[in-house]
Amino acid sequence: MAYISFRFSTSALMERIPSRWPRPVWHAPWKNYRVISGHLGWVRSIAFDPSNEWFCTGSADRTIKIWDLASGTLKLTLTGHIEQIRGLAVSQRHTYLFSAGDDKQVKCWDLEQNKVIRSYHGHLSGVYCLALHPTIDILLTGGRDSVCRVWDIRTKAHVSALTGHDNTVCSVFARPTDPQVVTGSHDSTIKFWDLVAGRTMCTLTHHKKSVRAMALHPKEKSFASASADNIKKFSLPKGEFLHNMLYVFFSHYL
């Protein structure tokens, strides 16, 4: 009796499942439009004016520079920090600019007077990030002391300390609804916080390396987090993992 054997590749037997995520729209390579120079050290932070007329940069040279967005010319240089400036935020509700740096200082600048009008003291080490709540006059700051601190902007009162990270808090953003505060840390985790109770709502452990930066989507209920391993996208408010951003981007060109 003769036997006939058939060989099938695994890929031929498996049904190809279409990707749930749309391919990115191809565009021509970006071209350099303008180089703006003036700082004497590394530029560590940047923030844009809500009116889109100017932007500011914070540097290792301990200065904050305000630039005209259309022309790229320097409008103003603010001095006051004694170490490099790690974080900047421009208020949408007031004429205030907030800055934070390695000198443990958090400052509020009045842009009508171009000077510091308030300082917020409480961090035990360098301050790496800061964010403003979109609807309440509170400021959020995170630093090397592994704590995200909540401040009343006007009274300078230290409202609460959000503790739970095991390493530097280097990224934070705020939302008008729960979770109102989201932090990323060098301990490779992202935490959602109950602002009223001052405790963790949930912890995301998808990253394998330090979470260096986060960005809230302007329209979707989602945010992206960046680490040395990849960029990940999560949904809000539950924090469900959606996909890796680098994989989606590069798969279009493979």
Q: For 159-217, what is each residue's pLDDT tens digit?
A: 999 999 999 999 999 999 999 999 999 999 999 999 999 999 999 999 999 999 999 99
Cβ contact 232:224 at 8 Å: yes
Domains observed in the chain = 84-251 (2.130.10.10)
Strand-pairing partners, residue 184, are 171, 190
Q: Which of 25, 44, 114 is nearest to 76 (CA)?
A: 114
Cβ contact 73:55 at 8 Å: no
CA-to-CA distance for 60 and 237, rounded, in angstroms? 35
The answer to whether residue 4 scores a pLDDT higher than 70 is: no
Confidence (pLDDT) at 3: 53
Q: φ, ψ for residue 146 (rounded to 5)?
A: 70, 20
CA-to-CA distance for 130 and 196, rounded, in angstroms? 19
- Provide the terminal-to-terminal Cα distance of the chain, rounded to the nearest Å: 48
Q: Which of 110, 106, 114, 194 is nearest to 158 (CA)?
A: 106
**Better pLDDT: 233 or 16:** 233
CA-to-CA distance for 210 and 190, rounded, in angstroms? 10
Rounded mean pLDDT of 97-123?
A: 96
Highest mean pLDDT pick, 8-12, 23-27, 237-241: 237-241
Confidence (pLDDT) at 25: 80
Q: Which of 148, 100, 108, 156 is nearest to 127 (CA)?
A: 100
Q: Which of 210, 159, 217 is nearest to 189 (CA)?
A: 210
Confidence (pLDDT) at 245: 82
